[in-house]
Amino acid sequence: MPGHIVITGGAGFIGSHLVDRLLAEGGWRVTVVDNFDPFYPRVAKERNIAAHRSDPSFRLIEADILADDLEERLGPEPIDRLVHIAAKAGVRPSINDPIAYHRVNVTGTLRLLEMARKRAVPHFILASSSSVYGENPNVPWKEDEPALVPISPYAATKLAAEQFARVCSDLHGMRITTLRFFTVYGPRQRPDLAIHQFFRKISSGQTIQRFGDGTTRRDYTYVDDIIRGVRAALDREQGDRYALYNLGNSGTVMLRDLITAIEREVGRPALIEQCPEQPGDVPQTFADVSKGAAGPGFCSVHNAC
């Protein structure tokens, strides 16, 4: 099945790990589209893909997903899979700039869906987020949970992207798989994310900010598990044309317990600045992954893929 795969956001945290996996497998021709958004330093993304550049099966197109000439720059080679990971990330920054988040995460996704339709891409994989579940108390969260109510612009844009993907699949018969990622961590993690910040600051004696009383919970999922789930989705050729799956660990860790574990790991106590809860932050995330485990031609992060 390996062929030509296009990965948007392929120089970022999750995307670069997916490129690692596909190049290691062999047989894939990987085209990465990334605009090196200055949300965090470019040098970090350059490090992510440094080893890829010398691989003849790897190609980088530095471009925005909204660029008018993107399709031309991709060239005429057929695309066998399109994995759309690129997005403006972060709940808190989205509150300050919701229009930019909508432009990239919604309009950008729709333009890629249209390109995939016109080019008859056999399978489109969309990276979504656990944030779409909002403050829903019915945990663990199932994919068919009705009446989702996002509480941040970021979450609203991810849910809107999901809805456009579903509509495109229904109208045009496109095979589309949407994957909701749950709090991904691991090597190359974005520097703004909690685990990265906590390790860096606690180990160097800097103060960390703890928002709320420390009882918020997250379903932290290791990046390798996420990549196993994405890789399994690439092989989904049966079942409904549109499918939606959670990719999570299906367990939660309390914030104060996370900090304690990092203190133990680095061998020094955290200096904590207590801060109020932040608008847009949900009290918990918790994935039900049973659908992926039972799905046709698919698997959950708990199964070997």
Distance CA 42, CA 303 (A): 35
What single-letter DSSP state applies at residue 205? T
* CATH superfamily ID and name for 4-185+221-248+287-294: NAD(P)-binding Rossmann-like Domain (3.40.50.720)
The residue ranking higher by pLDDT, 238 or 78, is 78
Cβ density class 22-54: b for 16+ within 10 Å, e for less: bbeeeebbbbbbbbbbeebeeebbeebbeebee
Whether 303 has a pLDDT exceeding 60, the answer reads no
Asked if 131 contacts 180 with a C-beta cutoff of 8 angstroms, the reply is no
CB atoms within 10 A of CB 73: 12
The pLDDT score that the predictor gives to residue 294 is 66
10-27 tens-digit pLDDT = 999 999 999 999 999 999
Where are the chain's structural domains?
Answer: 4-185+221-248+287-294
User: What does the longest C-alpha to C-alpha distance in the chain come to?
Assistant: 56
Q: What's the whole-number average pLDDT of the chain?
A: 94
The pLDDT score that the predictor gives to residue 190 is 92
The pLDDT score that the predictor gives to residue 292 is 84
Would you place residue 295 in the very low, low, confident or very high pLDDT band (cuts 50, 70, 90)? low
Distance CA 288, CA 284 (A): 13
207-234 tens-digit pLDDT = 999 999 999 999 999 999 999 999 999 9
Cα pseudo-dihedral 94, 99, 105, 111, rounded to 10: -170
The residue ranking higher by pLDDT, 122 or 1, is 122
- Tokens encoding 263: 């203190």
Would you place residue 304 in the very low, low, confident or very high pLDDT band (cuts 50, 70, 90)? very low
**Contacts by 50-59, CB closer than 8 A, 24 or more apart:** 52/16, 52/19, 52/20, 52/23, 55/23, 57/23, 57/26, 57/28, 57/29, 57/30, 58/19, 58/23, 58/30, 58/32, 59/29, 59/30, 59/31, 59/32
Distance CA 145, CA 200 (A): 37
Q: Which of 101, 133, 154, 245 is catalytic?
A: 154
User: pTM for the whole thing?
Assistant: 0.95
Percent of the chain scoring above 70 in pLDDT:
96
Cβ density class 133-149: b for 16+ within 10 Å, e for less: bbebeebbbbbeeeeee
Whether 201 has a pLDDT exceeding 90, the answer reads yes
Distance CA 227, CA 172 (A): 28
CB atoms within 10 A of CB 221: 26
What average pLDDT does this structure show over 33-43? 95
Distance CA 260, CA 305 (A): 33
* CA end-to-end distance (rounded Å), the chain: 15
Whether 156 has a pLDDT exceeding 60, the answer reads yes
The residue ranking higher by pLDDT, 2 or 58, is 58
The pLDDT score that the predictor gives to residue 293 is 75
* Beta-strand pair 217-218/253-254: antiparallel
Whether 59 has a pLDDT exceeding 80, the answer reads yes
Cα 58 to its chain centre, rounded Å, is: 21
Nearest alpha carbon to residue 240 among 161, 182, 298, 302: 298
Distance CA 255, CA 215 (A): 6
Rg of the chain on CA atoms, in Å: 19
What average pLDDT does this structure show over 265-283? 95
Distance CA 14, CA 86 (A): 10
| Residue 154 is among the residues annotated as catalytic for this protein | yes
Give the amino acid at 121: V
